[in-house]
Amino acid sequence: MTDEERQAHIDFLIEANARYETRFSRYETRLARDEGHIRELQESFKLLVELARNHDERQDNSDARTAALEEAFQTLADIAARQDERLRTLENKS
């Protein structure tokens, strides 16, 4: 191998290494940016999970209150029906 061939080979290796370093630097930059995005997504996901849990708890509480109200209305309807029956009985006796 001549000195010129050796120098050309060295120059090629230096250029290839420079291209590799440039690509690697871009990759590191993208990786750092992507890691930031991933952290943001993780925090957003945690927030969404917490919101969903809160919603489920509120929905459960709302369902329980609705059931209690339905039961109370049914009790009132039963009382009103018994009162109507008493009034009819009293009216029939008069």
Q: What is the spatial distance between Cα 70 and Cα 79, in angstroms, rounded to a whole number? A: 14
CA of residue 83 relative to chain centroid, distance: 52
**pLDDT value at position 32?**
86
Q: What is the spatial distance between Cα 54 and Cα 48, in angstroms, rounded to a whole number? A: 10
**pLDDT value at position 61?**
93
Is the pLDDT score of 94 beyond 80? no
Is the pLDDT score of 41 beyond 80? yes
| Tokens (6 digits) for 6 | 């050796």
The pLDDT tens digits of the residues spanning 22-34 come to: 998 888 888 888 8
Residue 73 makes CB contacts below 8 A (sequence gap 6+) with none
Q: What is the spatial distance between Cα 82 and Cα 55, in angstroms, rounded to a whole number? A: 40
**pLDDT value at position 68?**
95
The pLDDT tens digits of the residues spanning 49-92 come to: 999 999 999 999 999 999 999 999 999 999 999 999 999 998 88
Q: What is the value of pTM for the model shown?
A: 0.50
